[in-house]
Each structure stands twice: as C-alpha cells, then as structure tokens.
Amino acid sequence: MKKSGAQIVWECLVKEGITTIFGYPGGANLPIYDAMRDYPQIHHVLPRHEQGGGHMADGYARVSGKVGVAMGTSGPGATNLVTAIATAHMDSIPMVFITAQVTSKLIGYDAFQETDVTGITLPITKHNYLVTDVEDIMPTLREAFYIAKSGRPGPVLVDITKDAQQAFVSDWEYDDTQIVLKGYRPDFTPAASSIQQAADLINSAKRPVILAGHGVLMGNAMSEFKEFAEKNNVPVAMTLLGMGGFPAHHPLNLGMMGMHGESWVNTAIQEADLLLAFGMRFDDRVTGSLNSYARNAKKIHIEIDPSEVNKNVRVDVGLIGNIKEILAQVTPLVEKNERAEWRKVIADLKGETAVRDIVNLPDSGHLYAAHVINELRRLVSRDTIITTDVGQHQMWTAQYFKIEEAHTMVTSGGLGTMGFGLPSAIGAKLAKPDREVWTVVGDGGFQMTAAELSTIAQEKIKVNVAIINNGFLGMVRQWQEFFYDKNYASTPMISPDFVKLAEAHGLKGLRASTRAEAQVAIQEAREYPGSVVIDFRVEQEDSVYPMVPAGAALNEMIRRPSVIVETPQDE
C-alpha cells in the first residue's frame, strides 16, 4: 500500500496498541495532523501547552501501564516538552515523544523554528532519533517503543523532518518481526550463587528492613513482594514513588523513609543489620549523608539497571534483573521468621508522634493541610487515584493519604516538577475513566499549568482539584524559615480567585477555610457530576515534619515543636 510518512506514523501507533495521545499541532507536524482523521481509533487530546501534554501522557502511562505518547511541532513545540521528558526520565516512565523537525535540507541553517531537539534531549532520554528519510519512520518508531518499555523503562524521542512526513513509500507493509538491537541488552539474570548468597544474608539477619521503591510497581511484582515480606516478616520502608507497591495498612508497612519520612522509619534503617533495596536507587533524599548511612548494615540490591548498583551506596550482593523473577527465586530459599524482637523495637520507636498530633487535636478553627488530606482519605474509596504537584502538599499527601493499591498515586519524584499535578491527573483519568481522580496541588505549582482546566472542560472529564492555598511557595518558604533566618525572599505570592477561575473555565469552584467546610466541600465535589476546583485556605506558615536537613544523617531530624492548642473565644 502507498503510504505517506505521516500515515506511517499513525499506522505504527495503531500497531503498538496506542489508543490515546496528547499533542499540539504546528507548522512542521501539520502533515501528521492532516493524516490524523483517517485514524479515529486513536483519541487525540489537545493540551493548552506542550509541557502539560507531556505530563498528561506521563500520568496516563503510570496509571495504565502502557507507553505514553506526546507530540509537538519543531522549535518551541519541541523545547516545551523538555521538562516533561526530564520528568519521565528521572522516574523511569515508558514514553515516546514524537516531535517534528524542519525540512532536512534546512537543518543547520537556523531555519524558522529549527531547534536541535535531539541534542537538547540527549541527556534526558533513554535514546533519541532524528529521522530524515520516510523509509526509516517505521523501524525507528518500532525501536522507540521497544526501548521505552523494555529493561528499565524510560522516554524515547523521535524527531521527524517535515519532508520525511510528506514523502511516500510505494509498497509499504508493517514489519512485525522481533526487534534485536546490537549493544542493547535489557534482560539480565543473576547467577544462582548470588541468589543463594542473598538468601543466606536474609536468613542470618536479626534486624532487616526492606526499602521498597518504584521498581516494585514498574516490575509488577506486588504479589511476589508481599509473599516475600510476609514469609520472613521483614518490616517495609517505602520511597515516595514506591507507595502503592505494598498496602499502607499492612502491619509490616512502616511508612515513608527519607527527608520527610517517619522518624521511626529512618531510625530503624540506621539501626538495621541488613537493608534489602528493592527497585530503588538510593537517592540523596532517601539516604541523607552517605558517610553515616546504615553503617552497620549489609546491603542487598535488586535492580534492573546495572548502572545503579554500587553507584551511590556500596552493596554486598547485587541482583540485576527483573524483580518479579528474582523474588520468585529468592523467596523459596528464605526461612520463615517471626522477627518478634525486631518488630517490637520498631514499635517502641514509634512512641508518640507529634507529626500526627495536628489531625487528632480538637478543632481550634484553624485549617491545616493535614486536615484536608486526612479528610480526603477518609471520604474517598481506596482505589481513588490521587496525583500531586511538588512541594509541601506533596509530602503531606505522602504522609496522610494512605496508599493501599498499586498505581493509585502519581507524583514527580526525581525531578520534582512543579505544574505536574493537574495535567497528570487528566492523563490518569483518561487512562482509567471509571476511577475517581483527585489532584492535590499547591497554589504555586497549580498556576504553572492551570490553563489545563480548559483541557478538562474540552474533554468533558471529571477531575477534582484540591488547592492547598497557603499564600507562599511553601516548601521554599520552609527552607527559608529553617536555614535562612526567615528571609522570605520572593516566596509570598498572591493568586487569582480560584473559585472564579474555575467558573471561567466552565467548572465548579468551592472554597473552604475550616475543617467543617473542608469536609462539606470534599463531599460536594464528589457528588457533583463535573470537575470541581476547591480552594482550601490553610495555615500559611505550617511546615512539613519531620525533616532531615540536607547533608545530615538520616536520623538527625527536625521534629515538629509542641503544638499550641488555641481555644476559640466566645463572641
């Protein structure tokens, strides 16, 4: 069949099983958009900014388990995708970004809207391509999808020149033969001796702790992980992105580790004699000072990417490969163990935790972010999908919104991208239209991508938006309070009337300033048939506790000071 390069792009997307894409048209990719109407089986979503479209595709990928696809034109269209590409790269999200390039004969001449997008994105993609020949479009896109979803997932960019989109292939047929790439080995199998060595360390450990990361979810190893943990009764500490890989209310789940993790979790890690790192990369926000990190612990690292093993923390056993398959081999070699003594030690470490006091205190008329998120968790179902922006509200969500099921929390971990929450929620809703979807955002990050409220209106979907509005760039303000003598330089901010902003987009807007109002607003938003934006006016100078200062040991935490209970005065 005679096919243009633009048609071949759509043919390949159909063959890859893609049903939803997020893209923005422009001069250089008009041939692709001209061919789009011939492929009604693919739903195209028009964001209001390419970055938003990239985050939508990211949220779609995280929730659906499929490869996310985002498109943009040349020049600014491609560069606007860069933040979304870097976000996906840091969190190992399988995505294919298709950008357009100026006509091949103009490359290198500073043509209108010409940008070297492959050069720009080389450090933040798993791989990228520049396609100048129509014959190369199909094999390149097939490779791109294979690379994106195999091994350690990640984003791949394919930049296609306009003339390649317009050219034709006379006798085009789709090639569905197996892809084999020279020099690319995504599958690893650890030696049996390493498996046995790991089992021996586990069986001899007295104070082990599992560090459960994003790899548990990406490897779809939740059931194998649960079987392993329960058989050996090993307490589980979660990374931010690992949440959902192990039920929050499981007796072995200690909670989140790291900079804003639970104090007893960080202390347990420091006192452990064995750390089992499952699909996590020992990020600095997890370890604190490496010089003092779990000095007395042996370490086992299960990781699909060999470059991550021994990169930040030296380990005793590295098991490189698919975590689902590795756990299936390790678990039969592990002995049953109650670990009653070690679990009692950790239970004693919990004690009275000030970070939870805010939720339990009598209502003094003040609304804290913790109240909002606690009420949200109480009122919604356990399979509700929640996305977040980045900042204090992200950490409060991690602490208070107990994640019980896999792939129900979507957040930017590695890059920490403000503006991620709203568009990723749109992608999540389109991936799972029958699920309830909320996004918890700050007043700062929300305004970076608030234009995507129009995308919600155009797509006629229901996504509820909870704005934790404290009038500051909250996390930056917290650092200024703790480490810069309260020099609040450029962190106080004014915002539009979010209720009117919602209404301007054809959505419903609500506002809450007390705990009682918050409860009513959440319930009203759930019952309303369309999308609702809620402006939660919370305490302005509240901080996230505990906090491990940058460069400090993991157990050197700043804890919440005593909370003063204010009794409302009678009028």
Number of H helices, E strands in the chain: 24, 20
Determine whether 162 is an active site residue.
yes
Beta-carbon contacts of 69 under 8 Å, excluding residues fewer than 6 positions away, are 13, 18, 20, 21, 22, 57, 95, 96, 97, 98
Determine whether 50 is an active site residue.
yes
- Asked if residue 425 lies in contact with residue 437, where contact means CB atoms within 8 angstroms, the answer is yes
Out of 112, 168, 482, 483, which one is annotated catalytic? 112
Exposure b/e, 540-550, CB count within 10 A at least 16 = b? eebbbbbbbee
Out of 36, 95, 409, 475, which one is annotated catalytic? 475
Beta sheet of 409-410, edge-to-edge order: 409-410, 385-388, 437-442, 464-469, 532-537, 508-512
Which residue's structure tokens are 């480490």? 483
Determine whether 500 is an active site residue.
no
Determine whether 280 is an active site residue.
no
Nearest by Cα to 47 from 64, 60, 37? 60
C-alpha 478/C-alpha 411 separation (Å) is 20
Q: Name the DSSP class of 385.
A: E
Out of 50, 262, 308, 375, which one is annotated catalytic? 50
Out of 66, 126, 149, 162, which one is annotated catalytic? 162
Compute CA distances 189 → 194, 203, 302, 306, whole Å. Answer: 10, 22, 11, 11
Roughly how many angstroms between the first and final C-alpha of the chain, as a whole number?
A: 81
Strands (E), 354-504: 385-388, 409-410, 437-442, 464-469
Determine whether 329 is an active site residue.
no
Judged by DSSP in three states, 63 sits in helix
Which H or E run contains 128?
strand 127-131
Tell how far CA 318 is from the center of its chain: 25
Q: Could you tell me the maximum CA-CA distance found in the chain, to the nearest angstrom? A: 84
Q: Which residues are catalytic?
A: 50, 112-113, 162, 475
